[in-house]
């Protein structure tokens, strides 16, 4: 489905991925893009460049509030549901995690039930856990965090609303997204975090052994995957289905740290090790054949994406 002349709602639209989706919707000719964000994780600076565009509306609000969500969904043609609580929040504030990832998703689906909106729901590989082999979309779910549990519940609500009420919704499971606008000062987003430390002459901190495998995926490839699903949802081909979306490049966290030190760090800098993180998945490696059959492919190499991310972090740090 083309987004040209369509009204778009992006929940979590001031966040890392959501802000890039808003950019792409405008680039593709959307007549209106509404960004809904509570600005807990989202940042004004991620969308500051959109301030002069008359097609942009910024709504400060929370997906947990149905009275906020309902009119925004029902006024839209397409909803990209990106709003979510982070994994680290699930450990410190589990109720916020539950309410955002489960109740927030329920609110979007309930609002879309009678309006016919197309909904692309952002999920996560954390719903699966780890496996020695690649995990297909229907791999048994074994989440090891509250975040994985709550996002898995969101997927189940999507499936139910598609089957029971005909809500035109499909799901994407993100794996280890990186790129410009990713927070480098927090606990999630290891590429940006390592870059932020190394560029300031600080050692990257690897938790555990560093043997954890990651499938680092360029943020604009995830954005492209969102738009790729629209035609399929409209034709009911992917109704209620989930698609793993990830790079086929597999890198260990320790190799990542050493690569960033070698390419961007001062001489003599070495990796620092910390204790293993509770519930961390060691091999959350997906099979991505389903979305590749729809035409998904990586647009840049990991090396190119790393360079572009480094340049953004440098600029943001004022280096």
> Which residues are identified as catalytic?
147
Buried b (16+ CB within 10 A) or exposed e, 44-74: eebbeebeeeebbbbbebbbbeeebbbebbb
- Helix, strand or coil, per DSSP, at residue 232: helix
For 166, residues 6+ apart whose C-beta sits below 8 A from its C-beta are none
Contact 187, 88 (CB under 8 A): yes
Picking from 243, 231, 224, the residue whose alpha carbon sits closest to that of residue 298 is 224
CA distance readout (Å), 269 to 184, 199, 227, 255, 262: 19, 11, 41, 14, 9
Contact 78, 118 (CB under 8 A): yes
CA distance readout (Å), 253 to 38, 44, 275: 31, 30, 14
Joined tokens for residue 137 = 């979309």
CA 11 to chain CA centroid, Å, is 12
> Which single residue is written with the structure tokens 């006024």?
75
Number of helical H runs and strand E runs in the chain:
12, 13
Q: Is 25 exposed, middle or buried (0-12, 13-18, 19+ CB in 10 A)?
A: buried
Beta pairing partners, 40: none
Picking from 100, 126, 1, the residue whose alpha carbon sits closest to that of residue 42 is 100
Joined tokens for residue 284 = 């959350």
């Amino acid at each position: 489905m083309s987004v040209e002349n369509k009204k778009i709602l992006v929940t979590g639209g001031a966040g890392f991925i959501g802000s890039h989706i808003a950019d792409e919707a405008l680039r593709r000719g959307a007549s209106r893009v509404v960004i809904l964000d509570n600005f807990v994780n989202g940042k004004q600076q991620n969308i500051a460049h959109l301030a002069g565009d008359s097609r942009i509306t910024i709504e400060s609000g929370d997906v947990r509030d149905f009275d906020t969500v309902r009119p925004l969904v029902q006024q839209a043609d397409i909803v990209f549901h990106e709003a979510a609580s982070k994994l680290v929040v699930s450990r410190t504030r589990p109720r916020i995690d539950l309410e955002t990832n489960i109740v927030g998703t329920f609110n979007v689906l309930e609002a879309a039930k009678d309006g016919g909106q197309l909904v692309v729901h952002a999920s996560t590989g954390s719903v699966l856990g780890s496996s020695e082999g690649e995990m297909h979309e229907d791999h048994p779910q074994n989440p090891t965090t509250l975040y994985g549990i709550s996002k898995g519940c969101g997927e189940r609500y999507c499936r139910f609303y598609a089957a029971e009420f005909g809500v035109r919704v499909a799901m994407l499971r993100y794996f280890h997204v990186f790129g410009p606008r990713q927070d480098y000062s927090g606990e999630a987003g290891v590429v940006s975090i390592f870059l932020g430390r190394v560029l300031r002459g600080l050692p990257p901190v690897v938790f555990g052994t560093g043997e954890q495998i990651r499938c680092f995926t360029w943020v604009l490839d995830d954005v492209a995957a969102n738009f790729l699903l629209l035609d399929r949802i409209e034709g009911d081909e992917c109704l209620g289905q989930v698609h793993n979306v990830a790079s086929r490049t597999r890198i260990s966290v320790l190799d990542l740290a050493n690569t960033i030190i070698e390419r961007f760090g001062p001489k003599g800098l070495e990796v620092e090790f910390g204790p293993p993180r509770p519930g961390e998945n060691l091999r959350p490696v997906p099979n991505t054949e389903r979305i590749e059959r729809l035409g998904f492919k990586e647009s840049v190499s990991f090396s190119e994406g790393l360079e572009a991310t480094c340049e953004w972090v440098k600029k943001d740090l004022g280096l």
